[in-house]
Amino acid sequence: MKHIKLYENFLNEDGYGRDYFVKEKDGKVYRYFFKIDGEEEPLGFILKIGKLSRDITMESAENSYAVLSIEPISVAAMDDYLVKESDFKSREDDVFTLTDSELMRTYKIVGEAIKDYLENSPKVSHIYDEMPLNIDMDFDEYKRRIKSLMSSWSYDKWSLQEASADRVLLYSRRDHD
């Protein structure tokens, strides 16, 4: 059996969720499956929070950092995977486009997943955001939008800057309140 929250908790009888996501732990990676209302149709995503980076070699203690990445998944494939435990093809290298409102809805759930992850990993002081590697958006625009959206989970206790790799952001826990 997979280590996920019960799927029954994910949806109410009317099809809307009580939880923002379904969480699955796979080794050192948490996978958060969620859906948003897209402009034209529902969109599915897998947010991964873990220790593996595509672009950065980590030199700090493993318990002090996390890496965010996101990939699209069709809503049907997500449902089949979560309910019937069928396989799905990873699309971790796929680039996709989000409208401004889709990015806002997506990042709201990303923020909830980050809060969940930090509850389980309180020593994390750096988060590398590799989501821009998959989202087809001007990086400066993405950075500007995320800076205004991150207060939903950071409560101004985290700062934002560009990381050493292209198109990667670094969230750092502030030493003071």
Q: Is residue 107 in some structural domain? A: yes
Which two tokens mark 110?
A: 């990303």
Do 70 and 134 contact (CB within 8 A), yes or no?
yes
Neighbours of 68 (CB within 10 A): 23
DSSP class per residue in 26-90? ETTEEEEEEEEE-SSSEEEEEEEEES--SS----S-GGGEEEEEEEEE-HHHHHHHHHH------
Q: Is residue 33 in some structural domain? A: yes
Q: Is residue 2 in some structural domain? A: no
- Give the phi and the psi of residue 163 in degrees, each rounded to 5: -85, 180
Split into its structural domains, the chain has a count of: 1
Expressed as residue numbers, the domain containing 54 is: 7-173
Cα–Cα distance between 23 and 30 in angstroms, integer? 7
Q: Is residue 1 in some structural domain? A: no
Which two tokens mark 84?
A: 């019937």
Q: What is the pTM of this model?
A: 0.86
CA 107, 109, 114, 120: dihedral to nearest 10 degrees?
Answer: 180
DSSP reduced 3-state for 172:
strand
Sequence-distant (6+) residues with CB within 8 A of 60 are 126
Tens-digit pLDDT string for the chain (177 aa) = 344 444 445 544 444 455 788 999 989 899 999 999 999 999 999 999 999 888 788 888 889 999 999 999 999 999 999 888 888 888 999 999 999 999 999 999 999 999 999 999 999 999 999 999 999 999 999 999 999 999 989 998 999 999 989 999 999 999 755
